[in-house]
Amino acid sequence: MAAKPRLLLVLIFALVLLGLATLNGGIVALAMPLVIYLAVARLRMPEAPRLRVGRSLSLEHTSPGVPVVVKLDITNEGAPLDELRVEDVVCPGLEVIEGETSTLGALPSGGRIELAYTVRGNRGEFNFDDLHIRSSDSLGLFEQFHVLSAPAYLLIRPQVRRLRPVAVRPPRTRGFAGPIPARQSGSGVDFIGLREYQMGDRLRWMNWRVSARHEQNLFTNQFEQERIADVGLILDARQQNDVLTSDGSLFDHAIQATASLADTFLEAGNRVGLLIYGRGREGVFPGYGHVQRERIFRALGRTAAGHNYALESLYHLPTRFFPAHSQIVFIGPLNGGDDVAVLTRLRANGYAVMVVSPDPVAFEMQGLIPESNQSNVRRTDTRSGHERPAITRMTGTEYANRLSYVERRLALLRLKRVGVQVIDWRVDQPLDQALATASPRGNPSALGREARA
């Protein structure tokens, strides 16, 4: 029973008892208006409402921050309702920026109520469903609560940033022309070698300088073919590798990077697949074009970091998911020696491996150290060009930061040594900037410098 009828009953009971105890009929009579008030309310209590509810969204798939209009149409198919309160349950993570999510009113038989409001939110999958209905008598004493279902689905894809073409060099390419050097001679732009002149060779390909050194032979330049390739993106969604600070989650940055890379590779005509490794092993099989991009964005939109004891290590990475000798791009912060060992094994199996690693140490320290102190604890290493913690004024946290930094640098160095393209990405900098520093063949001199450092 609701609070108001209970209060009325208590008051009625008290007045009747007082009247009887004092033998005062007037006091008992004083309780009568309350009794009649309560009785009328009880008699006018509504039946279970018969409502038809429909929900529509202006967009079903959208990008972060884009307003989406949610419309609810409620029709009374039963008896008139004296008082009706409708309240829509907005999914957590969505912000109402305009309109109302609840309404109060009377609804005659066949009457309609329309609710419309605008929401926006960040990446995620949102299932609208519950609609809270409270119908009561006209005095508002007896209330009935019902939950109606009005399902709708909204997917907010991750933010995509346009990147410059990413330089990759997989051992095997596909048969169609594209932007990736194929390690085979043919029509192309980059010089790959010389061969003796054959009938049909274009004169403009003739290498006159070399031909002049030989009396009988002519030589033509050969160029490297450029084709499309298979690119497999692996997103590390393991909970233990995620870092949560007041600035957000490192995993969100990794998702953004994955979406941007997928967009860039697909834009160049490559065949791209996605594997999300975390709670489970969710995959988008390799494919081309806009439809594939949409599939990948949807998968990224609904994914979340999760924990699975069976997938704590990368050892269960299904390498057969991607074609042999293709390009694999692993996106995630590296976790100790296991990850390095698995990525090394992938490289040994003939895949070209690129690691885009959002820096968890720098990300976590940003949240721990106040802005004003950050200049005191970080400095730029003149030899490697990387920022690292300064030695001055070090606290326990800063020692831990420094140790983590060293451990991470060593892990990245081990990967570089086996020929993995490593992109050490501080998430406060644009990914494009980090990718620009990476070379598909590695930079031996820089590697040597870092090893010595």
Q: Is 85 in the site for another protein (CB under 8 A)?
A: yes
Residue 27 touching another protein (CB under 8 A): yes
Q: How far apart are CA 284 and CA 232, in angstroms?
A: 10
Tell me: does residue 82 bind another protein (CB under 8 A).
Answer: yes
Q: Is 13 a residue that touches another protein (CB under 8 A)?
A: yes
Closest CA to 29 of 38, 18, 41: 18
* Contact call for residues 28 and 130 (beta carbons, < 8 A): no
247 binds another protein (CB under 8 A): no
What's the min distance (Å) between Cβ of 22 and another protein?
6
End-to-end Cα separation, the chain, in angstroms: 75
Nearer to another protein, 35 or 244 (CB): 35
What span, in angstroms and rounded, lies between the C-alpha atoms of 350 and 362?
32
- Judged by CB, which is closer to another protein: 53, or 342? 53
Q: Residue 340 interacts with another protein (CB under 8 A)?
A: no
What is the C-alpha to C-alpha distance for residues 203 and 216, in angstroms, rounded to an integer?
A: 17
Interaction of residue 78 with another protein, rule CB under 8 A = no
Give the nearer residue to another protein in terms of CB position, either 102 or 240: 102
- Find the shortest distance in angstroms from Cβ 15 to another protein: 6
Q: Which two tokens stand for residue 354?
A: 């690129």
Give the residue, chosen from 68, 72, 115, 257, that forms a contact with another protein under the rule CB under 8 A. 115
Orientation of helix 289-302 relative to helix 250-267, angle to 10°? 170
Site for another protein in 134-193 (CB under 8 A): 137-140
Residue identified by tokens 């390690």 is 183
Min separation Cβ 122 and another protein, Å: 24
Work out the number of other CB atoms within 10 angstroms of the CB of residue 295: 17
Of 17-25, 190-198, 385-393, 407-415, which part binds another protein (CB under 8 A)? 17-25
What Å distances lie between residue 446 and 40, 279, 379, 451, CA to CA?
A: 87, 37, 19, 9
Distance between CA atoms of 219 and 217, rounded to whole angstroms?
7
The rounded distance, in Å, linking the Cα atoms of 141 and 44 is 10
Contact code string over 92-111 relative to another protein, x by CB under 8 A: --------xxxxxxxxx--x
Residue (95 or 428) nearer to another protein, CB: 95
- Using the minimum distance from each CB to another protein, give the nearer residue, 111 or 442: 111
Using CB under 8 A as the binding rule, whether residue 23 contacts another protein is answered as yes
Nearer to another protein, 137 or 236 (CB): 137
Residues 182/171, Cβ–Cβ less than 8 Å: no
Nearest C-alpha neighbor of 304 from the set 233, 232, 239, 234: 239
**Interacting positions 266-295 with another protein (CB under 8 A):** none
Candidates 2-10, 184-192, 421-429, 434-442; binding stretch for another protein (CB under 8 A): 2-10
Q: Which helix (H) or strand (E) holds 447?
A: helix 444-452
Helix (H, G, I), strand (E, B) or coil at 217: coil
Options 18, 167, 177, 210; binder of another protein; rule CB under 8 A: 18
Site membership for another protein, residue 25 (CB under 8 A) = yes
72 is a contact residue toward another protein (CB under 8 A): no
391 is a site residue for another protein (CB under 8 A)? no
Applying CB under 8 A, which of residues 46, 49, 51, 83 lies at the interface with another protein?
A: 83
Whole-number Å distance between alpha carbons of 430 and 257: 10
Q: How far apart are CA 305 and CA 327, in angstroms?
A: 24
Q: Are strands 124-136 and 143-156 parallel, antiparallel or unpaired?
A: antiparallel
Give the footprint of another protein on this chain (CB under 8 A).
1, 4-5, 7, 9, 11-13, 15-16, 18, 20, 22-30, 32-34, 36-37, 40-42, 44, 82-83, 85, 100-108, 111, 113, 115, 137-140
